[in-house]
């Protein structure tokens, strides 16, 4: 997703017009036109203006960027926006440690209990040798679980993603 598409999605989520956003970031009378140009991809805002937009939109600056935030943070942002473009494509589940030691599992497989929500084929599990990335994904899995169980709304779920990492459990 481009920076312009992200600006548009978040601006609409905040129920703000292009004119309002333009004025709040100091673009003056031509602000709506400039915001439209950013959203359509005709122009790309420079980093200081992008940071000002993030402040006005009350989101993490990473939510608007197209990278350069660090490998783990960039990966999380890419996954968040993929989840917005194709809702339901990413399903996270926290795992539970088995009594069987890893080396005792000769075929290096994980077992799962089937239920009606699983896909027709066995899901693939992935983990990282990165404590920080695993912690990020655990937090996200917890938020997804809350969404599935009706504890939070779609709007609150999106809010968590666009304010991440500030919204993540510390």
Three-state SS annotation for the chain? CCHHHHHHHHHHHCCCCHHHHHHHCCCHHHHHHHHHHHHHCCCCCCHHHHHHHHHHHCCCHHHCCCCCCCHHHHHHHHHHHHHHHCCCCCCCCCCCCCCCCHHHCCCCCCCCCCCCCCCCCCCCCCCCCCHHHHHHHHHHHHHHHHHHCCCCCHHHHHHHHHCCCCCCCC
pLDDT at 105 over 60: no
Q: Which domains does the chain have, with CATH numbers?
A: 3-59 (1.10.260.40), 71-162 (no CATH)
- Residue 75's pLDDT band, with cuts at 50, 70 and 90, is confident
The C-alpha atoms of residue 16 and residue 12 are separated, in whole angstroms, by 6
Cα–Cα dist 129/123, whole Å? 20
Question: How confident is residue 104, by pLDDT bands cut at 50, 70 and 90?
Answer: low
Query: What is the CA 111 to chain-centroid distance, rounded?
Result: 28
Check residue 44 and give its pLDDT.
Answer: 92
**64 touches 6 (CB < 8 A):** yes
39 or 167, which is more confident? 39
Residue pair 95/110 in contact by the 8 Å Cβ criterion: yes
164: left (phi > 0), else alpha (psi -120 to 50), else beta? Answer: beta
Least confident of 10-14, 67-71, 86-90: 67-71
pTM: 0.77
């Amino acid at each position: 997703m481009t920076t312009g598409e992200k600006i548009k999605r978040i601006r609409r989520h905040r129920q703000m017009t292009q004119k309002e956003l333009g004025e709040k970031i100091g673009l003056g009378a031509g602000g709506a036109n400039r915001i439209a140009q950013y959203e359509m991809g005709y122009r790309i805002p420079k980093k200081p203006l992008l940071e000002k937009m993030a402040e006005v939109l009350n989101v993490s600056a990473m939510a608007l960027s197209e990278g350069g935030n660090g490998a783990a943070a960039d990966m999380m942002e890419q996954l968040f926006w993929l989840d917005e473009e194709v809702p339901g494509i990413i399903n996270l589940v926290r795992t539970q440690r088995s009594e069987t030691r890893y080396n005792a599992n000769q075929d290096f497989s994980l077992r799962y209990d089937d239920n009606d929500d699983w896909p027709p084929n066995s899901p693939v599990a992935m983990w990282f040798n990165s404590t920080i990335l695993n912690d990020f994904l655990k937090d996200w899995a917890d938020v997804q679980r809350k969404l599935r169980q009706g504890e939070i709304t779609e709007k609150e779920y999106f809010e968590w993603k666009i304010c991440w990492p500030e919204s993540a459990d510390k």
